[in-house]
């Protein structure tokens, strides 16, 4: 398949899949469909096209987390504490199991801790649409589960921020420096949230032809500053979305204005690229079978935890919303390699 044929397939995919999911009344299937298509497409595309998809998809992931952040109204810290305590218990109780599996696969303790932080992370970006459409949650528990998802992702980011430099260079003075940079970035965005919201509102109200480009440009500019200060661009986008008040114009939310670039192109491109990075050969190799077995063990352990101890108030399958963050898992795996 040449690059032009690939582009034709992607355009047809981006046009068809959202309509299929809408007709099926299963909006949560949208991202898995894109991942599955990328997996099937992987062996047919050139290395250059694969690299291009992966790089372009990173900007889709950034915009995805920004939009998810906009959808979440974080309460005051006192109201956030129950979800934070749940997330701490849910993740830490799984650490011994992941460390044991890591030791079985001949990883060091520090490598096992990196694996545990990644595998207990929740992907709010991938699971948010499933949470919106999930029927097994009582109305009074929906916000709690969403906040627990956010807490799980934020905890994993904080833990990996400590472990990443330690894995590469050992425990040294760079670790508190990096944590200070991340903390400073979050505080800085929160401090200027009102001013940034006013700028977004001004762009929406005063610009017309170039509106979508100015909005995306401002998001990217904030993310670039975050990366300079030690927080990844995608996580900066998520924090920016959390901190911004919902800018509206003519009854439309901010994400509706950037949808031509985000929802209709870059975000689907990210999930397709994610699927292309899974090799067919790995599925039936020793590594693939070990990974599948590990996933089944963790899934069974989480079902037991949710049924007996860490109850969410939802039905028996609610714990599936706390799915691993595939992007963080992939980044951690690349770091270990």
Strands (DSSP E) along 209-268, which ranges?
Answer: 248-249, 252-253
As a whole number, mean pLDDT of residues 165-173 equals 57
**pLDDT (0 to 100) of residue 247:** 60
Length of the chain: 337
**pLDDT (0 to 100) of residue 301:** 87
User: Cα 74 vs. chain centroid, distance in angstroms?
Assistant: 17
**pLDDT (0 to 100) of residue 125:** 66
Q: Where are the domains of the chain?
A: 3-336
**pLDDT (0 to 100) of residue 173:** 57
For the stretch 179-215, pLDDT in tens is 666 667 667 766 777 777 778 777 877 777 788 888 8
Domain 3-336, CATH? 1.20.1530.20
C-alpha to C-alpha distance for 10 and 126, rounded to whole angstroms: 20
For the stretch 256-281, pLDDT in tens is 778 778 777 888 888 888 788 777 77
pTM: 0.65
**pLDDT (0 to 100) of residue 209:** 75
Dihedral angle over CA of 83, 85, 86, 89, nearest 10? 160
**DSSP of 198-212, one letter per residue?**
HHHHHHHHH-STTHH
């Amino acid at each position: 398949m040449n690059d032009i044929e690939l582009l034709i397939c992607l355009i047809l995919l981006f046009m068809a899949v959202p309509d299929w999911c809408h007709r099926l009344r299963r909006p949560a299937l949208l991202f898995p469909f894109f991942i599955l298509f990328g997996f099937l497409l992987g062996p047919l595309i050139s290395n250059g096209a694969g690299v291009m998809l992966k790089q372009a998809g990173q900007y889709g992931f950034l915009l995805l987390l920004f939009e998810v952040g906009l959808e979440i109204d974080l309460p005051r810290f006192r109201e956030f504490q129950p979800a934070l305590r749940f997330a701490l218990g849910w993740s830490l109780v799984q650490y011994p199991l992941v460390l044991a599996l890591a030791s079985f696969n001949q990883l060091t303790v520090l490598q096992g801790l990196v694996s545990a932080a990644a595998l207990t992370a929740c992907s709010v970006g991938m699971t948010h649409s499933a949470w919106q459409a999930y029927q097994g949650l009582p109305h009074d528990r929906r916000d709690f589960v969403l906040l627990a998802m956010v807490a799980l992702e934020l905890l994993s980011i904080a833990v990996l921020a400590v472990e990443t430099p330690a894995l590469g260079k050992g425990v040294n003075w760079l670790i508190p420096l990096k944590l200070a940079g991340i903390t400073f970035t979050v505080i800085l965005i929160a401090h200027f949230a009102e001013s940034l919201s006013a700028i977004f509102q001004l762009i929406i109200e005063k610009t017309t032809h170039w509106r979508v480009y100015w909005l995306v440009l401002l998001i990217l500019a904030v993310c670039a500053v975050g990366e300079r200060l030690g927080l990844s661009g995608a996580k900066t986008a998520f924090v920016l979305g959390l901190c911004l008040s919902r800018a509206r114009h003519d009854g439309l939310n901010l994400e509706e204005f950037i949808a031509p670039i985000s929802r209709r192109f870059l975000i689907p491109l990210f999930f397709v690229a994610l699927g292309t990075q899974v090799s067919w050969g790995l599925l039936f190799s020793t590594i693939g079978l070990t990974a599948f077995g590990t996933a089944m063990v963790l899934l069974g352990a989480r079902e037991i935890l949710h049924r007996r101890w860490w109850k969410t108030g939802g039905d028996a399958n609610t714990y599936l919303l706390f799915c691993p963050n595939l992007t963080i898992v992939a980044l951690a795996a690349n770091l270990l390699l």
